Structure 1
Amino acid sequence: MSNDEFIITPREDKTVTMSIRIEKILQEQLDELARKSNRSRNEIINMALEYALKNVRFIDSTND
C-alpha cells in the first residue's frame, strides 16, 4: 500500500453570483451564439463584459 496522500485544499472562489434582467431578444441571441460556439451562456457573458469594460469610453457630460 502506498503512502501517497490525496491532498485537497480549499478552492479560492473568484466569482460572484449576480441576477440581471435582459430583453428576451438578447437572451435568444446569446443562447444562439452559445450554441454555435459550444460555450456556455455564462462564458459568453463574461467574455462580452470583459471586452466592454476594456474598450468603453466614458464621457462625463457634467463637466461642460
Structure 2
Amino acid sequence: MDDKFVVTPKEDKTVTMTIRIDRTLQEEYNELSAKTNRSRNELISMALRYALDNMIIKDEE
C-alpha cells in the first residue's frame, strides 16, 4: 500500500484586524450572515475586496 497521507504546512494569509463600525451596520451583517449561511467575517472580507476592486479615486480640484 503506497498511498500516503501527505500533510503540508498551512499557508496563513490572513491577519486579525480590529475596526469600529456603526451598530446598525453590524446588525445588517448579522442578518445577512444568517440568511446566507456565511460568516460575518467572510461577508465583510468579500465586501472589502469588492470595494477595492471597484473603487475610483477622484483628484481634488
CA deviations 1:3-43 (Å, max 9, x no partner) are: 75433221111111100000000000000001000100011
Contiguous gaps of at least 5 residues in structure 1: none
1:8 matched to 2:7? The reply is yes
- Corresponding residue of 2:17: 18
Matched residue count:
61
Q: What's the TM-score, normalizing by structure 1?
A: 0.83
State percent identity of aligned pairs: 57
User: In proportion to residue count, which structure has more helix?
Assistant: 1
- Corresponding residue of 1:48: 47
Contiguous gaps of at least 5 residues in structure 2: none
RMSD over equivalenced CA pairs, Å: 1.3
